[in-house]
Amino acid sequence: MSRIGKAPIAIPSGVTINVSDKNLVTVKGPKGELTQQVDSDITVKQEDDNIIVSRPTEQKRHKSLHGLYRALINNMVVGVTEGYKTTQELVGVGYRATSTGNTLELALGFSHPIVFILPKEIKVTTTAEKGKNPTITLESADKQLIGQIAAKIRSFRKPEPYKGKGVKFVGEVLRRKAGKSAKK
């Protein structure tokens, strides 16, 4: 039995979960509404204040899907109650980030600024304090979407291994390389 899959998902107060006949799970809460299509072999039931995810057989495919869909539904419940937040920092001289509404403008050392339009589900804030690196904070109820957008922003200028310049997550540890050594 999948350890993750067999654990029930507790439904907090203020959250409503609806499972349609076509295995479409809809979770509504104070931070928004999320939907997830579940494989037809996996069954999702609501019992009291818990969601139970179960599988029909012990096949490898069913075992994989069991834990997967339980984790996805749990992420949806956490997202609509607490939300998800990720913070990135821009390391480099002259690197800047400004946000207006859902538009993020980045100056990352290229000849032109990068204008990135974010989906409406994501809220972005930027800070630039003197003596500290500029930061970008993304907030959303959808864990998959926020991770995808954060990875896209990071891909504009990945941190390089010599000086560490680029877009990196706060708390991320980079492997640094030694530069060239001078000959005698």
CA separation, residue 103 to residues 114, 126, 137 (Å)? 10, 11, 13
| CATH annotation of 84-169 | 3.90.930.12
pTM for this structure? 0.88
Q: Is the pLDDT of residue 138 over 60?
A: yes
Are the folds of 3-81 and 84-169 the same? Answer: yes
CA distance 71 to 66: 9
d(CA 143, CA 83) in angstroms, rounded, equals: 8
pLDDT at 3: 82
First to last CA, the chain: 64
Confidence of residue 4 (pLDDT cuts 50, 70, 90): confident
Residue ranges of the domains in the chain?
3-81, 84-169
Q: Of 3.30.1960.10, 3.90.930.12, 3.40.50.1820, 3.40.50.300, which CATH number belongs to 3-81?
A: 3.90.930.12
Mean pLDDT of 134-155: 95
The two counts, helices (H) then strands (E), for the chain are: 3, 13
Task: Give the single-character DSSP code of 93.
Answer: T
Q: Which residue has the tokens 């708390």?
A: 171
**3-state DSSP assignment of residue 1:** coil
Average pLDDT over residues 95-107: 94
Which ranges constitute the DSSP H helices of 8-114? Answer: 60-81
